[in-house]
C-alpha cells in the first residue's frame, strides 16, 4: 500500500510542471498568440487583451496587440465573421493611437485592419478606406521607418499595387516601397510575396519567378512571424506551379 502511495506521489510531482505550464499558457495571451494557427487560441488571446483594455483604458500594449490579433483573425475566421474582426481591430488600433499617437503600432495596425476591411467589403465599398490607410501608413513610416523591419514600406507597396491607378495606385511606387522594405530584411516573406505580385502584374515574369523561389527557400527567420511565413511560402509554391 505504501509503495503504491509513493508511486502516485511521484507521478503527481512529475505531472505538476506540465499542468503549471498549461495553466500559464491559458492565462498568457502572448503564449496563446504564438499558437495562432489554432484559431481557438488566437481568439482566446484576443479576448484577454480585450478584457485588459476594457479594465484599463490607457493600456497601450493590450490595445495594439488586440488590433494585431484581430487582423490575423480577420483573415482566418469564417467569411461571415471577418468584417466583425476587422471592425474590432480598428477600434483597438484607434485606442492605441489615442493612448500614444507618437508610436507607430496603433497607426500601422489601424491601416492593416482597414485594409482587411476594404478587401472583405469588395473593391467598390473598400475604396472609401484608401485615403485613411495611406495616411496611417505614412504616419507610421514617418515615426519609425524600420518599424517591424520595414512594415510600413511593405504595406505601402501593397497599397500602391492594390489601389486602381485612377485612385492613386502606381506599380512603380509599389516596387520602390517593397524594395525599400527588403533593405531591412532581405528574406522577409511578406515583402517577397508582395514584390512577386507586383512584378507579375508588370509582366516581369522571370524576376517574379526568382523572387518566389527565394521566398520558398527562405528559412523561417524571426519566429514571431513564423505562421505568416509558412502561409506566404505555401502561396509561393502554388504560384510557381502555375508559372511552369
Residues 167 and 240 in one domain: yes
Nine cell digits for residue 93: 488600433
Residues 154 and 224 in one domain: yes
Domain boundary among 119, 144, 169: 144
Residues 112 and 194 in one domain: no
Whether pTM > 0.75 for this model: the answer is yes
**Helix (H) or strand (E) segment spanning residue 225:** none
Whether 14 maps to a domain, the answer reads no
Residues 123 and 155 in one domain: no
- Mean pLDDT confidence for 214-242: 94
Q: Which residue has the higher pLDDT, 21 or 163?
A: 163
What span, in angstroms and rounded, lies between the C-alpha atoms of 118 and 128? 8
| pLDDT over 70 at 3, yes or no | no
Contact 139, 107 (CB under 8 A): yes
Residues 131 and 209 in one domain: no
Burial status of residue 146 (CB atoms within 10 A of its CB: 0-12, 13-18, 19 or more): middle
The pLDDT assigned to 19 comes to 41
The pLDDT assigned to 47 comes to 98
What span, in angstroms and rounded, lies between the C-alpha atoms of 184 and 178? 11
CATH number, position 113: 1.25.40.10
Contact 68, 60 (CB under 8 A): no
Residues 164 and 232 in one domain: yes
What span, in angstroms and rounded, lies between the C-alpha atoms of 121 and 23? 39
Whether 11 maps to a domain, the answer reads no
Residues 209 and 221 in one domain: yes
Residues whose CB falls within 8 Å of the CB of residue 98, separated by 6 or more in sequence, listed in order:
106
Domain boundary among 144, 168, 189: 144
Whether 221 maps to a domain, the answer reads yes
State the pLDDT confidence band at 125, using cuts at 50, 70 and 90. confident
Of 6-15, 68-77, 146-155, 213-222, where does mean pLDDT reach its minimum?
A: 6-15
Residues whose CB falls within 8 Å of the CB of residue 168, separated by 6 or more in sequence, listed in order:
130, 134, 160
- Mean pLDDT confidence for 152-163: 98
Whether 19 maps to a domain, the answer reads no
Burial status of residue 155 (CB atoms within 10 A of its CB: 0-12, 13-18, 19 or more): buried
Domain span at 237: 146-244
The pLDDT assigned to 100 comes to 98
Question: What is the number of structural domains in the chain?
Answer: 2
Per-residue model confidence as pLDDT tens digits over 56-93: 999 999 999 999 999 999 999 999 999 999 999 999 99
Residues 162 and 238 in one domain: yes
Nine cell digits for residue 220: 523561417
The pLDDT assigned to 11 comes to 44
Amino acid at each position: 500500500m505504501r509503495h503504491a502511495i509513493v508511486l502516485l506521489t511521484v507521478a503527481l510531482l512529475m505531472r505538476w510542471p506540465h499542468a503549471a505550464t498549461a495553466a500559464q499558457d491559458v492565462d498568457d495571451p502572448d503564449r496563446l498568440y504564438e499558437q495562432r494557427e489554432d484559431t481557438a487560441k488566437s481568439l482566446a488571446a484576443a479576448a484577454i487583451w480585450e478584457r485588459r483594455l476594457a479594465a484599463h483604458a490607457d493600456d497601450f500594449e493590450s490595445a495594439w496587440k488586440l488590433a494585431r490579433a484581430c487582423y490575423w483573425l480577420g483573415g482566418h475566421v469564417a467569411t461571415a465573421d471577418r468584417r466583425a474582426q476587422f471592425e474590432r481591430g480598428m477600434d483597438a488600433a484607434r485606442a492605441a493611437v489615442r493612448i500614444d499617437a507618437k508610436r507607430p503600432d496603433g497607426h500601422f495596425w489601424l491601416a492593416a485592419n482597414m485594409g482587411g476591411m476594404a478587401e472583405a467589403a469588395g473593391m467598390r465599398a473598400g475604396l472609401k478606406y484608401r485615403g485613411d490607410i495611406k495616411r496611417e501608413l505614412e504616419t507610421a513610416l514617418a515615426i519609425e521607418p524600420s518599424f517591424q523591419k520595414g512594415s510600413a514600406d511593405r504595406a505601402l507597396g501593397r497599397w500602391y499595387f492594390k489601389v486602381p491607378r485612377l485612385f492613386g495606385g502606381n506599380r512603380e511606387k509599389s516596387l520602390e516601397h517593397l524594395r525599400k522594405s527588403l533593405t531591412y530584411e532581405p528574406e522577409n516573406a511578406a515583402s517577397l510575396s508582395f514584390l512577386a505580385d507586383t512584378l507579375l502584374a508588370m509582366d516581369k515574369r522571370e524576376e517574379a519567378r526568382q523572387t518566389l523561389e527565394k521566398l520558398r527557400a527562405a528559412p523561417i527567420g524571426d519566429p514571431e512571424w513564423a505562421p505568416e511565413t509558412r502561409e506566404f511560402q505555401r502561396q509561393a509554391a502554388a504560384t510557381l506551379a502555375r508559372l511552369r
